[in-house]
Amino acid sequence: MYKILTIYILFFSLHTHASCQCQAMRDGKFYFDKKVSNLIECQNELINYNFEQFKLKNICTNTSQLKISWQCESSNSKSVPLKDKSFNCSEYAGMQNAEMLMGAVSYSTYLSVPKNLVPDIAMNIGMDDCVEVEHQNEITEITEKNEVKGLIVNFEDEKELGDVLEKIIPDADIYLVSQAIDSINKDRFRVVFFNDNSIADLGEGGNSDDLGKTHGMALTFIKNLKGSGYQLKIEYETNLFTNFKNPEKPGFWQDEQGGWHVDQYFIEENIGKVLIAKKKKGDAFYWSIGGGVHSLNKSDGDGALGVFSALGSQVAFHKAASDIKPGAARLYNNFGQKGDETEVFIEGNAGKRMTLNSNPQNRIYLQSEVESRVTGVNDASFVGADISLKNDQEIFNSSNMRFGVGVKSKVYIDGSLQTAGYVDISVGNDNYRAGFKYEMERNDLPGYQNALPMEFANRKSFAPPNENIWSLYFSYDWE
């Protein structure tokens, strides 16, 4: 449960007692009565009790305000008169949304671990490292309840999913999880697809280049925490890094239908995470912080999550393209290796927008960001920066065309430096945005993204350079 300390400060005085009887009256009847250590604990217990009663629908059913009288009476002092206090019911509704969404994310984080890595895993995702100190006990309570011991399942319908969740996570409140997931579609969804080849490259057949960082996608669900100026983000990202099994002599061969075949090594990176973020608005400072699960699949040549992960979608896309036009895309024989990893991580991001020129039809602004990820995956932690100049030009029906240019960089813990200049063009408004981004990558891949086996002779010298990346993206906001 999220019990925000600043709310306590607004609600109550901070004077403390050695011990006291925490009592509250509502409508002339005893509402709450508990012996506690001090005034602060009384405050916490009362807010917690209010929240539990809100979830049971015992309060705030026909009114927007909860009015009670309360006191923390010490046995060593004179009687303290009851104090009247009104509570805003919408604040408890926001707390319930946060609790449900954090629970849903906690469960879905476990469910997103690749099926070939799940057996016998029982872990605490460590989200308490990602939030303010005041929240740590609450997050620990959520994560300590969840263990996953083998998850290879198919779901026919929502009821079957609920039944399976109850067996895997007995303490899960399936209704609340379902309700939280349902609420996400009222806000924002964003999808990004990227590749180191454009559509025009399909005609090149066996000559196109799929080495290095070659293929991937990212899905983001954003839930606005109403009235707070903050958001809860659930993100899934999958990236594919490849190299020929024999970089010196790849050994292409062509089948009778004209399809090109070649052997390759791969590393598929899958990242599932939850972030708490301050909304971007105007020139205000914004930030996000969170964490999740970071996994590398090096053994499953069909993709750790089938078509929903980068390798699986490459297999499906290349086969479909080759079926339509033989030779339009390479058909890879994927060779697995040892070294799969699944670890937890934390990350943070902070940024600022600064308007340089603005009028009703046009806005030019500078956007700068810094980011960092600390992960248990070997050599994958990094710090980075991104600075861009953007121009929003109104075109029609309150929509605008956005043109941006920028430079981004990352420095990894192994010393690898990754930089890219980019151009970003999109069309949209407050409800939707669609566009493409072209990144001109430079420098070598970080060591953990080198798809060649660790024992490969001259492994580093045969690593492919970063390729230029084409990205297509779309977002839609339901509010």
Write out pLDDT tens, residues 348-397. Answer: 888 888 899 888 889 999 999 999 999 999 999 999 999 999 999 998 77
Q: Over 90: is that where the pLDDT of 268 sits?
A: yes
Tell me, yes or no, whether 267 lies in a domain: yes
Residues 351 and 246 grouped into a single domain: yes
Confidence of residue 165 (pLDDT cuts 50, 70, 90): very low
Tell me, yes or no, whether 104 lies in a domain: no
pLDDT on residue 50: 85
Ranking 11-25, 169-183, 321-335 by mean pLDDT, the lowest is 169-183
Tell me, yes or no, whether 429 lies in a domain: yes
How many separate domains does the chain show?
A: 2
pLDDT on residue 96: 63
Residues 72 and 197 grouped into a single domain: no
Q: Over 70: is that where the pLDDT of 185 sits?
A: no
pLDDT on residue 80: 67
Confidence of residue 104 (pLDDT cuts 50, 70, 90): very low
Residues 50 and 189 grouped into a single domain: no
Higher-confidence position of 16 and 80: 80
Domain boundary among 60, 95, 130: 95
Residues 91 and 191 grouped into a single domain: no
pLDDT on residue 161: 43
pLDDT on residue 238: 95
In the predicted model, what is the mean pLDDT of residues 300-324?
A: 89
Residues 268 and 414 grouped into a single domain: yes
Tell me, yes or no, whether 154 lies in a domain: no
Which among 115, 30, 40, 112 has a CA at the least distance from the CA of 69? 30
Helix (H) or strand (E) holding 268: strand 260-278
Q: Any idea what the CATH number is for the domain that residue 348 is in?
A: 2.40.128.140
- Rounded CA separation 222/186 (Å): 9
Residue 473, classed as helix, strand or coil, is strand
pLDDT on residue 446: 86
**pLDDT digits 0-9 by tens, 421-460:** 999 999 998 889 999 999 988 776 788 999 999 999 888 8
Ranking 15-24, 117-126, 424-433 by mean pLDDT, the lowest is 117-126
Q: Do residues 298 and 336 touch, judged by C-beta distance below 8 A?
A: yes
pLDDT on residue 404: 95
Tell me whether residue 430 is exposed, middle or buried, using C-beta atoms within 10 angstroms of its C-beta: 0 to 12, 13 to 18, 19 or more.
exposed
Helix 89-111 × helix 39-55 angle, to 10° = 80
Most confident region among 88-97, 200-209, 270-279 by mean pLDDT: 270-279
Q: Do residues 379 and 351 touch, judged by C-beta distance below 8 A?
A: no
In the predicted model, what is the mean pLDDT of residues 279-286?
A: 77
Tell me whether residue 436 is exposed, middle or buried, using C-beta atoms within 10 angstroms of its C-beta: 0 to 12, 13 to 18, 19 or more.
middle
In the predicted model, what is the mean pLDDT of residues 412-417?
A: 88
Confidence of residue 169 (pLDDT cuts 50, 70, 90): very low
The pLDDT mean for the chain works out to 75
Percent of the chain residues past pLDDT 70, beyond the cut: 71
Residues 242 and 387 grouped into a single domain: yes
Task: Give the torsion through C-alpha atoms of 406, 410, 416, 418, to 10 deg.
Answer: -20
pLDDT on residue 98: 53
Tell me, yes or no, whether 176 lies in a domain: no
Residues 345 and 226 grouped into a single domain: yes
Q: Dihedral of CA 435/438/444/450: which sign?
A: positive
Residues 269 and 397 grouped into a single domain: yes
Structure tokens at 240: 């594919």
Tell me, yes or no, whether 76 lies in a domain: yes
Which among 44, 46, 43, 21 has a CA at the least distance from the CA of 31? 46
Tell me, yes or no, whether 159 lies in a domain: no
Q: Over 90: is that where the pLDDT of 229 sits?
A: no
pLDDT on residue 75: 67
Ranking 38-42, 130-134, 162-166, 299-303 by mean pLDDT, the lowest is 130-134
Residues 396 and 294 grouped into a single domain: yes
Residue 459, classed as helix, strand or coil, is coil
Domain boundary among 47, 77, 95: 95
Domain boundary among 46, 61, 95: 95
In the predicted model, what is the mean pLDDT of residues 310-328?
A: 87
- Rounded CA separation 166/169 (Å): 5
In the predicted model, what is the mean pLDDT of residues 198-227?
A: 70
Q: What length is written for the chain? A: 479
Tell me, yes or no, whether 32 lies in a domain: yes
pLDDT on residue 418: 87
Q: Over 90: is that where the pLDDT of 297 sits?
A: yes
Residues 375 and 256 grouped into a single domain: yes
Residues 89 and 202 grouped into a single domain: no
Q: How far is CA 379 from CA 32, 218, 284, 336, in A?
A: 53, 22, 34, 21
In the predicted model, what is the mean pLDDT of residues 218-232?
A: 79
What is the domain range of residue 61? 5-95
Higher-confidence position of 63 and 116: 63
- Rounded CA separation 459/450 (Å): 8
pLDDT on residue 76: 65
Residues 321 and 470 grouped into a single domain: yes
pLDDT on residue 17: 40
